[in-house]
């Protein structure tokens, strides 16, 4: 079970999260397997706890503006190739988990719990649970260079 700083926990609870939350992630996992993506236990656990949440944050953050995000993988449907290609580039298995900034970019998580912003480039918010804090508090993700094994 994740523990978060007070402000992050409050924002997540306002979005409908509770510690120990469990939703059925199977339909999401199956949808993306049909696009050729492999499920992994971290993606399954993440979606079981956070799937379906819409987090409405805005305003100044720590090193970038806070931007809303929605943890609904179905908003990434049809983008499986993007996740597969970037996963190959950085040697990770990135599974779609939602969208960031009203759909301007995608969110994915790898087999190690690292949360990514996926666009025409890839940036990391870090590993869970810190990644969720970074996303909510407005911490600039670090760009991941292709071919860089972390």
| Residue 11 binned pLDDT confidence (cut-offs 50, 70, 90) | very high
> In the prediction, which pLDDT does 150 show?
44
The pairing of strands 142-143 and 69-70 is unpaired
The per-residue pLDDT for range 89-137, each reduced to its tens digit, is 999 999 999 999 999 999 999 999 999 999 999 999 999 999 999 999 9
Flag whether 18 is in a domain: yes
Flag whether 150 is in a domain: no
Flag whether 67 is in a domain: yes
Flag whether 149 is in a domain: no
Flag whether 50 is in a domain: yes
Domain, as residue range, for 52:
6-143
């Amino acid at each position: 079970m994740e523990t978060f700083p007070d402000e992050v926990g409050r924002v997540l609870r306002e979005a409908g999260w509770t510690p120990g939350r469990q939703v059925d992630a199977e339909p999401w996992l199956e949808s993306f397997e049909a696009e050729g993506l492999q499920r992994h236990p971290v993606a399954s656990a993440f979606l079981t706890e956070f799937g379906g949440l819409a987090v409405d944050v805005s305003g100044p953050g720590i090193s970038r503006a806070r931007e809303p995000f929605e943890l609904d993988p179905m908003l990434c449907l049809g983008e499986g190739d993007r996740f597969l290609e970037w996963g190959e580039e950085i040697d990770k298995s990135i599974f779609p988990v939602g969208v960031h900034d009203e759909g301007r970019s995608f969110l994915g998580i790898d087999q190690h719990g690292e949360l990514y912003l996926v666009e025409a480039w890839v940036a990391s918010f870090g590993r869970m649970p810190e990644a969720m804090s970074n996303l909510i508090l407005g911490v600039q993700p670090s760009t991941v260079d292709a071919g860089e094994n972390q």
